[in-house]
Amino acid sequence: MSGALLVAGTTSDAGKSLVTAGICRWLARRGVKVAPFKAQNMSNNSVVTPEGGEIGRAQALQAAACGLEPSVRFNPVLLKPGSDRTSQVVVLGQARGEVSALSYRDRKPALLSIVLDTLAGLRSEFDAVICEGAGSPAEINLRGTDIANMGLATAAGLPVIVVGDIDRGGVFAALYGTLALLSPEDQRLISGFVVNKFRGDPALLAPGLTAIERLTGRPVLGTIPWLPGLRLDGEDSLSYATGFGPAAPPTGSEYLRVAVARLPRISNSTDLDALAAEPGVQVVFADHPAALAGADLVVLPGSKSTVDDLAWLRATGLADAVVAHGARGGAVLGICGGFQMLGNRIRDDVESGQGEVPGLGLLPVTVTFRAQKELGRPSGSYGGVPVSGYEIHHGRVVSRADGLDPLFTTAQGGGEGARRGTVFGTHWHGAFESDGFRRAFLTDVAAISGRHGFTVAESTDYSALRLSALDTLGDAVEQFLDTAALERLLDHGPSNGLPILSPAADAAAWHPDGRTS
């Protein structure tokens, strides 16, 4: 087997990230040397690779499905939104300035060259490369400069399968419409469909599958059922729209409630996934003060726009509620941008350009933003318990009160983060994936909040849970998709003689730039 294919979706959150991970897992378990690839990702959920670069968390998950360490090659372009109109551009793991939606268009040709070179390098090294698209391939307003969907597929000659989310409704219209809106050149690469998140009797779905195959001339490669309980590195805010789900029953007699501020520019919300996987720990999002009532732990998560999100905390009243919770002796944790918000002052001439602004004053530290981003994969200990994580931030602690305790002891013997009483702060993302630290920290929070009936589950192994979930995805691909058809696409490329649907079939002027196919 040698080749590559692109997994596209009718919408964001259609499931293409997990379908890609499932195909990667299925191939890897068969002994195929496979790698993931996403040319351009837009996400504030990211991770640091062993090379010291930054990529989307979804591609790190897909790498794990392949049995690989994450690499900047798996996600050569990452956009990190800082506002509704601007994003930071990360190229091969390193930040390369800010762009607006319009100015980004001018950078696309150079980025496409980087993307294609990177993909070619992976294809020469691996037996198969499973590429993931971005958003929808039918965003025809963006097609002229696309580097992630059909622009990538046409340039690299990739067969494309389109994933539709039946749970949100309208899947047949979405599949048909996605195909019909593409140019003839692009339509020739669409080689099949996958229906995702199906619940119900398959017999009721069958007539629709037959009809969509007849109408489009493309096969439905399978229907993946709803897979409950998967909490795998959501790529964007839509992945967390409904929160973290109900907690598993507690090991002891009491639950522990964690309230997380739903910041407008939240980043690395995946930090909370490991907490939510712990039996008896209920993790909920909070966007108003009343949502903090009864919380045993209040978390200020990471942020791509620390100063702007701090202003949002104040505007919603959450800032006062967090300060009051900490003043009453309640446990408060700030992670990265959230840690910076807990300090006395923030000097930001880089991200927001607002200069010096007051923090919440719960930790006696001062933070200054620097243009060079701090990227790292640190390790250390918490009360003697091993912990590791990763750092992605512009803000640095430049001063701290004498005698302020660090949260972690680093592997080099220094200190990281801060703790004063029941208020904690750290720049380390991913720390809760360290099982020992997670148990020790939750035990401390339970003691602070008086939840003496809460007991951590000593058997919870977060890495094993993630691997099991990836195996579930691999099982779903093997059981529910036409794997022989996937192999043919990887071996031979796009199918030949596929019909072209209207309006592209009879409207040469369909493209805004007037090009024809």
Q: Catalytic site residues?
A: 336, 429
Phi, psi of 261 (to 5 degrees): -65, 125
Tell me the β-bridge partners of 225: 198
- Residues 375 and 498: their CA atoms lie apart, in Å, by 47
432, 281 contact by CB (below 8 A): no
- Residues 444 and 405: their CA atoms lie apart, in Å, by 16
> Within 13 Å of residue 488, how many CA atoms lie on the same side as its CB?
11
The pair of three-digit structure tokens given for residue 67, joined into one six-digit string: 């049995």
3-state SS, residue 197: strand
Greatest Cα pair distance in the chain: 75
> Within 13 Å of residue 112, how many CA atoms lie on the same side as its CB?
20
Angstrom distances, CA of residue 517 to CA of 188, 215, 410, 508? 11, 22, 59, 8
For residue 95, the 8-state DSSP code is: E
45, 90 contact by CB (below 8 A): no
Phi, psi of 249 (to 5 degrees): -55, 145
* 3 state SS for 270-322: HHHHHHHCCCCEEEEEECCHHHHCCCCEEEECEECCHHHHHHHHHHHCHHHHH
